[in-house]
Amino acid sequence: MEDIDEIKKKKLDEMLRKMKEKENFPNAPVVLNDGNFDGFVKKYSVAVIDCWAEWCGPCRMIAPIIDELAKEMQGKVAFGKLNVDENMEIPSRYYISAIPTLLIFKDGKMVDKVVGALPKQFLMEKISQYI
């Protein structure tokens, strides 16, 4: 049977590990490009990429929602933003034909795609499935 001090130490180590993991998740969307995209989605257990363009009205509508979700889901989900006009490789790879498109990755693999400017609650529920 484990000693109470060993149990306390294990629990403390687990709490510290979880705190460090949370600190490593950004609290705002990270600007991504064709060069750093793959590393970003592999680094985090769950990553959501907002594929957008400056001229896109619905993209501008959803941007504040993505910012809020990044803060609220910090420690669980990392958010990135990829400008599809400046980066052609990733949109081509994932067959992005309409924006805004959110690509959802779990453990480095794309598991879902959401197209359109949708309400915050819908997006939060959709993303939460993968946490």
Q: Which of 41, 48, 49, 56 is catalytic?
A: 56
List the Cα angle 12/4/21 in 5-degree steps: 15
Catalytic residue among 46, 47, 59, 66: 59
51 is annotated as an active-site residue: no
The SS3 assignment for 82 reads strand
User: Is-catalytic flag, 56?
Assistant: yes
Looking at this protein, which amino acid is placed at residue 70?
Answer: A
**Tokens at residue 13, please?**
């180590």
Q: Name 46's bridge partners.
A: 106
Q: Catalytic residues, which ones?
A: 56, 59
